[in-house]
């Protein structure tokens, strides 16, 4: 049947002609086939008995081309790139997914997860109705009953142990509105122990970056990477974790012939596309940063003018960098000097350059210090605050940025106001509740202003002796919304913590690991929550753009959205009325638009104030009018001048029409056009040295030098106070009372201060220097510290030095111990006293274990492992092991092996498949973190409620991972520990 292109038509004709003698002729293909042949009808009937077709249309809808199709835009619920999803809907059923060509972020494309999201709402394996455990059996119950039981249980625990005995674990899968509502819920309940996945992904980024230049977020955008000439990716694997971002990275690489340099212990899929791949020993990011800076300073490649005018404390960095000679860097990291010099030269001379990092940098005991070292790298080379530069931090979940901003965090109220009395008073004003009433919700004013317990340590707060926990009672109950249980390290301890809880509530589309991993028999409830495709709301992508997702279908089965469940709970707990005072609730459904409007009113500090639901919806409807690279709305369109998704800060009220800020700290633009400066957040001077910018200011600024953040006092000094309207002054007076002068741009609910500052071209938050030296952190200038479990005990001080009183603060030269032991987040934190174990452990556990993402799965993986289209692609949990290590252990590719970490219970191993590959270097093993359902050799499938077990189960890497926490944020150590591997 050789048919050439030009003859295709004719050839098919010939095919039919060949059979014409046997048919009536002139029929369509089906017609002549039906009539052809001897006794065809009879034979055909037999034929239908034969093995059937490949396709079986399941419960999922099938498009009917005769009927009209509705196209609805929502957003992918997986990573933080923010890909628009276009759903085709017929009769309330999601029947097809189409490329969203208009979106400037994904331009029609998806990764494996995004291209498979439709499966989530057919949800064969979803949790279908509320359930609870009764003597180890899962029982169905009604929503009313579930809310009643949970509410009564919570109130009983509050009565007995106080509000801090309940841990509220939220989710980066919430919409902004859901995250905000959840944080508000915790506040109304009376605790600060409300956390979410940011703790375990980029909390150290937020802390490190915010402490450097003001805000904890990606400074530029995915799209802006198209402008870069040098792209350094360290501790990140966007090809698997953020595939759609690679569209911009690779395009940038191609268009500019840019250098793409990947630092990683693994030769990742990203590294495969790099112009230079640098293999490092896990846990040596700071030596890498300082090693690069050593060459920069040595050769005078630093941006001296930038440092002079916009950076504080670079001299201190320079002193630390001097220790990191190429030889020392090679000794510690394993990277040859010539390669370091080559990369340093590119970074400093082939500009603009950007540094991209992910959890390889952040999920460390030195996460915050890592981040700050990378910031210093950018500051020293002047690669920040302009197109093609910046800290392009790729966040993890679809709304982890937004949920972080919304204060779903143990250290702050929404939008980074902190926890002090001013912050509480600000939010009480926004919520229109009395501050004293709010105070009465808490156990004490001290606890009201003390950071809560982070998700990485909640089980310690359940298990440790009460005298070691700085609150009236250990944790007794846990409310988990949209969070996997296998995402925290030290799972064997976590399981004990779960067992000890009096009450556990899991609200999620899937039961999650929490539902089955512990031997609980009672007092465990599962609430079916719908996905974000079954509700509406805004989400903030990594680049700070907000996008509005429209409900595609109604919640399936008996599931409800977060808003409704939080409302029902608040009602049962008795504070729905004050909590939803300004939010319209219809039929138990709070309006997400109203929630966003409340956010707009209160979030002045972060510039979440201009993104009204109307503006966001306008952007979604006009996606095609935004420029691919600048993200700016084109002239003559309804969104002219706006940046796509109004990336925060979007100053002032929606009516002020601020376009959002595509690139943070960009002095080349007027503040009204999205320009900015480094934030004046840490005072105006220190030790006689100014902290304000010197001679640097954003375009059009009337103050042509540094200035502090705007307050009424500053306005008055500048003589601009009179420009406030009477109404604005009235509001300010009401807020300030006696101390009107102290009302600042971020607490002025009239937005007058912001308005006036911007009129004069000034950035409301001031104009300061970025801090290369952050004196408030444990290591003001980052210093290298070996991981808690390190194979390089030769880089630790002598044992006895570390063994005394929690460790030494002044280690001998050439040694890099962890910090001395300390306390944080209401709990004790071990450093050197735990690190001491390395001396004993390193011999029996010779392989460094690191962990990371797979493209097919996300997070704890319950959702994606339940998606049949994704699950098929990764059917087994595995460990990547170098061929040399495999050979030494007699391990073949694909066989079962056992892996054990130093903190696992005696005799227990996890059972996984071996993937023998040169991706990992000798002495390093890698395991993905998305698996669960097996626990230390035991298949726990039977403990899921029937029909809700994910298709693919496997051991969780966190059964193997070990102790270790960042001192600033409580971030867990997932990237460096030790393990042993043996053939099973």
Q: Is 361 in the site for other proteins (CB under 8 A)?
A: no
Q: Minimum Å distance from CB 868 to other proteins? A: 6
Of the two residues 13 and 668, which places its CB atom closer to other proteins in the complex? 13
Spatial CB neighbours of 278, under 8 Å, sequence gap ≥ 6: 261, 262, 263, 264, 288, 335, 339, 343
Burial class (CB in 10 A: 0-12, 13-18, 19+), 736: middle
Q: Is 919 in the site for other proteins (CB under 8 A)?
A: yes
Quick check: 456 and 971 in contact, CB under 8 A? Answer: yes
What is the Cα 726 distance to its own chain's centre? 42
**Chosen residue from 345, 792, 868, 889 binding other proteins by CB under 8 A:** 868
DSSP one-letter code for 259: E
Tell me the pairing of strands 822-824 and 938-939: unpaired
Q: Minimum Å distance from CB 270 to other proteins? A: 7
Q: Minimum Å distance from CB 253 to other proteins? A: 7
DSSP 676-696: --B---S-SEETTEE-B-SS-
Size of the site for other proteins (CB under 8 A): 87
**Chosen residue from 917, 923, 937, 984 binding other proteins by CB under 8 A:** 917
The alpha-helical segments, DSSP class H, found in 552-686 are 562-573, 576-579, 592-602, 613-621
Helix (H) or strand (E) run with residue 349 in it: helix 337-349
Q: Is 262 in the site for other proteins (CB under 8 A)?
A: no
Q: Is 803 in the site for other proteins (CB under 8 A)?
A: no
Helix axes 314-322, 367-380, angle to 10 degrees: 110
The SS3 assignment for 504 reads strand
Q: Is 655 in the site for other proteins (CB under 8 A)?
A: no
Of the two residues 33 and 703, which places its CB atom closer to other proteins in the complex? 33
Nearest to 826 by CA among 446, 344, 416: 446
**Chosen residue from 77, 211, 218, 247 binding other proteins by CB under 8 A:** 247
Q: Is 5 in the site for other proteins (CB under 8 A)?
A: yes
Of the two residues 117 and 827, which places its CB atom closer to other proteins in the complex? 117
Of the two residues 17 and 730, which places its CB atom closer to other proteins in the complex? 17
Of the two residues 522 and 895, which places its CB atom closer to other proteins in the complex? 895
Spatial CB neighbours of 122, under 8 Å, sequence gap ≥ 6: 58, 59, 60, 61, 94, 556
Of the two residues 115 and 684, which places its CB atom closer to other proteins in the complex? 115
The SS3 assignment for 89 reads strand
**Region of residue 966 (phi > 0: left; psi between -120 and 50: alpha; otherwise: beta):** beta
Q: Which stretch binds other proteins (CB under 8 A): 108-116, 353-361, 535-543, 599-607?
A: 108-116
Separation of alpha carbons 662 and 677, rounded Å? 13
**Separation in Å, CA 262 to CA 265, 277, 358, 724:** 10, 5, 12, 51
DSSP 178-235: HHHHHHHHHHHHT-S-EE-THHHHTHHHHHHHHHHHS--S-SS-TGGGGG-SEEEEES
Q: Is 60 in the site for other proteins (CB under 8 A)?
A: yes
Site residues (CB under 8 A) for other proteins, limited to 184-243: 239-240, 243
Of the two residues 113 and 184, which places its CB atom closer to other proteins in the complex? 113
Of the two residues 129 and 267, which places its CB atom closer to other proteins in the complex? 267
Q: Which stretch binds other proteins (CB under 8 A): 265-273, 449-457, 641-649, 844-852?
A: 265-273
**Chosen residue from 26, 55, 300, 577 binding other proteins by CB under 8 A:** 55
**Chosen residue from 67, 145, 155, 257 binding other proteins by CB under 8 A:** 257
**Chosen residue from 272, 628, 804, 884 binding other proteins by CB under 8 A:** 272
**Chosen residue from 869, 889, 911, 938 binding other proteins by CB under 8 A:** 869
**Chosen residue from 70, 72, 90, 115 binding other proteins by CB under 8 A:** 115
Burial class (CB in 10 A: 0-12, 13-18, 19+), 742: middle
**Chosen residue from 90, 128, 151, 267 binding other proteins by CB under 8 A:** 267
Of the two residues 107 and 126, which places its CB atom closer to other proteins in the complex? 107
Q: Minimum Å distance from CB 338 to other proteins? A: 17
Q: Minimum Å distance from CB 4 to other proteins? A: 8
Q: Minimum Å distance from CB 626 to other proteins? A: 18
Site residues (CB under 8 A) for other proteins, limited to 833-862: 855-856
Q: Minimum Å distance from CB 587 to other proteins? A: 33
Site residues (CB under 8 A) for other proteins, limited to 65-84: 65
Of the two residues 875 and 895, which places its CB atom closer to other proteins in the complex? 875
**Chosen residue from 75, 111, 201, 743 binding other proteins by CB under 8 A:** 111
Q: Minimum Å distance from CB 466 to other proteins? A: 48
Q: Minimum Å distance from CB 942 to other proteins? A: 22
Quick check: 787 and 976 in contact, CB under 8 A? Answer: yes
Of the two residues 53 and 942, which places its CB atom closer to other proteins in the complex? 53
Of the two residues 73 and 560, which places its CB atom closer to other proteins in the complex? 73
CB neighbours of residue 887 within 10 Å: 12
Of the two residues 12 and 446, which places its CB atom closer to other proteins in the complex? 12
Q: Minimum Å distance from CB 758 to other proteins? A: 38
Of the two residues 252 and 706, which places its CB atom closer to other proteins in the complex? 252
Tell me the pairing of strands 938-939 and 933-935: antiparallel
Of the two residues 37 and 923, which places its CB atom closer to other proteins in the complex? 37
Site residues (CB under 8 A) for other proteins, limited to 924-953: none
**Chosen residue from 254, 702, 840, 844 binding other proteins by CB under 8 A:** 254
Of the two residues 232 and 250, which places its CB atom closer to other proteins in the complex? 250
**Going residue by residue from 14 to 53, which x/- string records binding to other proteins, judged by CB under 8 A?**
-x--xx--xx-----xx--xx-xxxxx--xx-xx--xxxx
In terms of residues, how long is the chain?
Answer: 984
DSSP one-letter code for 595: H
Q: Is 342 in the site for other proteins (CB under 8 A)?
A: no
How many CA atoms are closer than 13 Å to the CA of 805, on its beta-carbon side?
2
Of the two residues 795 and 855, which places its CB atom closer to other proteins in the complex? 855
Separation of alpha carbons 88 and 121, rounded Å? 13
- For residue 935, report the phi and psi dihedrals to the nearest 5 degrees: -140, 110
**Chosen residue from 131, 246, 286, 680 binding other proteins by CB under 8 A:** 246
Nearest to 864 by CA among 74, 84, 78: 78
Separation of alpha carbons 73 and 547, rounded Å? 10
**Chosen residue from 31, 96, 846, 937 binding other proteins by CB under 8 A:** 96
The SS3 assignment for 666 reads coil
Site residues (CB under 8 A) for other proteins, limited to 275-314: 277
Separation of alpha carbons 629 and 632, rounded Å? 8
Q: Is 690 in the site for other proteins (CB under 8 A)?
A: no
Buried b (16+ CB within 10 A) or exposed e, 492-518: bbbbebbbebbbbbbbbbbbbbbbbbb
Q: Minimum Å distance from CB 882 to other proteins? A: 9
Q: Minimum Å distance from CB 19 to other proteins? A: 6
Q: What is the CA radius of gyration of the chain?
A: 29
Tokens of 930: 């998305």
Site residues (CB under 8 A) for other proteins, limited to 524-553: none
Of the two residues 187 and 274, which places its CB atom closer to other proteins in the complex? 274
State the maximum Cα–Cα separation within the chain, in Å, rounded to a whole number: 103
């Amino acid at each position: 049947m050789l048919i050439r292109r030009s003859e295709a038509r004719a050839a098919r004709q010939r095919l039919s002609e060949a059979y014409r003698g046997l048919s009536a002729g002139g029929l369509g293909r089906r017609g002549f086939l039906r009539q052809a042949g001897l006794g065809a009808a009879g034979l055909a009937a037999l034929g239908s008995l034969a093995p059937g077709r490949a396709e079986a249309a399941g419960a999922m809808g099938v498009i009917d081309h005769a009927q009209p199709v509705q196209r609805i835009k929502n957003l992918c619920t997986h990573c933080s790139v923010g890909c628009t999803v276009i759903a085709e809907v017929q009769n309330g059923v999601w029947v097809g997914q189409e490329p969203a060509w208009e979106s400037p972020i994904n331009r029609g494309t998806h990764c494996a997860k995004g291209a498979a999201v439709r499966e989530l709402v057919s949800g064969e394996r979803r949790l279908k109705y509320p359930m609870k455990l009764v003597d180890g059996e899962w029982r169905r119950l009604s929503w009313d009953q579930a809310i009643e039981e949970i509410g009564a249980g919570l109130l009983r625990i509050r009565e007995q142990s106080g509000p801090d005995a309940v841990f509220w674990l939220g989710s980066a899968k919430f919409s902004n509105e859901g995250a905000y509502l959840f944080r508000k819920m915790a506040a109304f309940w009376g605790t600060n122990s409300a956390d979410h996945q940011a703790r375990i992904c980029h909390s150290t980024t937020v802390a490190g970056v915010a402490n450097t230049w003001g805000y904890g977020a990606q400074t530029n955008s995915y799209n802006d990477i198209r402008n870069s000439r040098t792209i350094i990716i360290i501790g990140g694997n966007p090809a698997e974790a953020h595939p759609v971002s690679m569209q911009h990275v690779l395009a940038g690489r191609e268009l500019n012939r840019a250098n793409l340099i990947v630092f990683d212990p693994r030769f990742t899929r990203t590294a495969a596309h790099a112009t230079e791949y640098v293999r490092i020993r896990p846990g040596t990011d700071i030596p890498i940063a300082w090693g690069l800076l050593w060459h920069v300073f040595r050769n005078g490649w630093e941006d001296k003018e930038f440092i002079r005018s916009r950076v504080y404390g670079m001299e201190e960095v320079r002193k630390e960098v001097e220790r990191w000679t190429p030889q020392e860097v090679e000794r510690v990291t394993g990277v040859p000097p010539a390669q370091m010099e080559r990369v340093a030269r590119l970074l400093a001379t082939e500009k603009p350059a950007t540094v991209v990092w992910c959890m390889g940098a952040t999920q460390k005991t030195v996460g915050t210090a890592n981040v700050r070292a990378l910031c210093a790298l950018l500051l020293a080379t002047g690669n920040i605050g302009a197109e093609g530069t910046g800290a392009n931090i790729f966040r993890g979940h679809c709304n982890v940025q937004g949920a972080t901003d919304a204060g779903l965090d143990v250290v702050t109220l929404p939008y980074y106001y902190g926890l002090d009395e001013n912050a509480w008073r600000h939010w009480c004003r926004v919520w229109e509740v009395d501050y004293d009433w709010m105070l009465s919700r808490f156990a004490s004013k001290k606890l009201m202003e003390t950071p809560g317990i982070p998700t990485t340590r909640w089980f310690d707060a359940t298990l440790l002796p009460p005298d070691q926990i700085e609150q009236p009672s250990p944790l007794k109950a846990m409310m988990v919304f949209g969070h996997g249980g296998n995402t925290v390290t030290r799972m064997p301890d976590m399981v004990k913590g779960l067992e000890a809880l009096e009450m556990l509530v899991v609200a999620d589309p899937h039961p999650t690991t929490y539902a089955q991993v512990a031997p609980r028999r009672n007092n465990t409830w599962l609430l079916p929550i719908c996905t974000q495709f079954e509700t509406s709301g805004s989400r903030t992508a990594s680049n700070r753009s907000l996008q509005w997702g429209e409900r595609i279908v109604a919640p399936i089965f008996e599931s409800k959205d977060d808003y409704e469940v939080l409302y029902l709970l608040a009602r049962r707990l008795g504070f729905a009325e004050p909590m939803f005072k300004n939010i319209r609730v219809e039929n138990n459904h709070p309006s997400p638009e109203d929630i966003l409007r409340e956010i707009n009113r209160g979030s002045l500090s972060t510039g979440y104030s201009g993104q009204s639901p109307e503006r966001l919806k306008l952007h979604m409807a006009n996606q095609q009018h935004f420029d691919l690279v600048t993200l700016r709305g084109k002239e003559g369109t309804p969104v002219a001048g706006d940046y796509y998704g109004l990336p925060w800060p979007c100053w002032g009220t929606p009516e002020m029409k601020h376009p959002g800020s595509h690139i943070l700290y960009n002095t080349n633009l007027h503040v009204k056009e999205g320009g900015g400066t480094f934030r004046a957040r840490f005072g105006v001077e220190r030790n006689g040295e100014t902290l304000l910018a010197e001679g640097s200011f954003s375009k059009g600024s009337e103050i042509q030098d540094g200035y502090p953040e705007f307050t009424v006092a500053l306005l008055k000094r500048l003589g601009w106070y009179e420009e406030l309207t009477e109404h604005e002054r009235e509001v300010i007076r009401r807020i300030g009372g006696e101390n009107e002068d102290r009302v600042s741009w971020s607490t002025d609910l009239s937005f007058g201060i912001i308005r006036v500052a911007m009129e004069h071209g000034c950035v409301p938050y001031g104009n300061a220097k970025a801090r290369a030296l952050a004196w408030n952190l444990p290591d003001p200038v980052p210093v290298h510290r070996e991981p808690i479990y390190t194979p390089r005990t030769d880089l630790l001080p002598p044992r006895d030095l570390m063994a005394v009183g929690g460790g030494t603060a002044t280690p001998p030269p050439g040694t890099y111990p962890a910090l001395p032991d300390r306390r944080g987040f209401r709990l004790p934190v071990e450093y050197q006293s735990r690190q001491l174990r390395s001396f004993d452990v390193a011999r029996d556990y010779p392989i460094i274990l690191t962990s990371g993402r797979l493209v097919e799965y996300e997070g704890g993986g319950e959702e994606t492992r339940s998606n049949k289209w994704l699950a098929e692609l990764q059917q087994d949990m595995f460990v990547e092991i170098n061929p040399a290590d495999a050979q030494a252990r007699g391990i073949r590719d694909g066989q079962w092996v056992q892996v054990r970490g130093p903190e696992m219970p005696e005799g227990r191993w996890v059972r996984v498949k071996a993937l023998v590959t040169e991706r990992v270097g000798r002495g390093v093993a890698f395991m993905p973190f998305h698996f669960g359902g097996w626990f230390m050799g035991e298949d726990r499938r039977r403990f899921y409620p029937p029909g809700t077990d994910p298709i693919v189960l496997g051991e969780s890497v966190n059964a193997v991972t070990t102790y270790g926490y960042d001192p600033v944020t409580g971030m867990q150590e997932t990237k460096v520990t030790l393990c042993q591997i043996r053939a099973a």
